[in-house]
Amino acid sequence: MYSFGGRSFSIWDADLNRVFDSGDDFEQRTTSLPNVNFNASNDNNTFDARSPNKGPEPEGVVVASFGSKTFAFIGLERVGGVMVYDVSTPTAPAFVTYLNTRTGATGDRGPEGLLLIDAKDSPNGKPLLIVGNEISGTTAVFQINLSYGAD
């Protein structure tokens, strides 16, 4: 059985050539979450419930640049949370972190929309990632703490 789309993120160039696809990276990274069962849906905590469908189902994406780096924030609608990748080199993105504030069948569930607030527009002077969660009806606010190295 083959299912196209819904399990990864892809980057395309201006000529519509796919230059990167994350493949099964989301599922590899969520296999042993301490706070939710593998491939659980957003309305239950049943182990492997989403594997026959679209797995973690990436839903919303925002891209932002900070200094010389560009990051993609990708919401996983079913298992929850946000994957963060450094996409400064579009042909070779690097995983940065995964934020998931879900607790089993409670907590923030079903990220549907993501919004980035620039530091200059933020109430605390730091960039913020706002995540609207459809199933739990909650809004999560993540402060993005930047650290710049030599690049």
* pLDDT for residue 148 is more than 70: no
Percent of the chain with pLDDT over 70: 94
Q: How many helices (H) and strands (E) does the chain have?
A: 1, 11
3-state secondary structure of 27: helix
* pLDDT for residue 151 is more than 50: no
Q: How confident is the model at residue 58 (pLDDT cuts 50, 70, 90)?
A: very high
Amino acid making up residue 102:
R
Tell me the pLDDT tens digit for each residue of 98-145: 999 999 999 999 999 999 999 999 999 999 999 999 999 999 999 999
State which H helix or E strand residue 143 sits in.
Answer: strand 138-143
The CA distance from 69 to 57, in Å, is 26
Burial class (CB in 10 A: 0-12, 13-18, 19+), 48: exposed
- Candidates 54, 3, 47; CA nearest to 26 is 54
Position with higher pLDDT, 107 vs 6: 107
Tell me the pLDDT tens digit for each residue of 24-48: 999 999 998 889 999 999 999 999 9
- Chain position carrying tokens 């530091």: 119
Residue 30 near residue 109 (C-beta atoms within 8 A): no
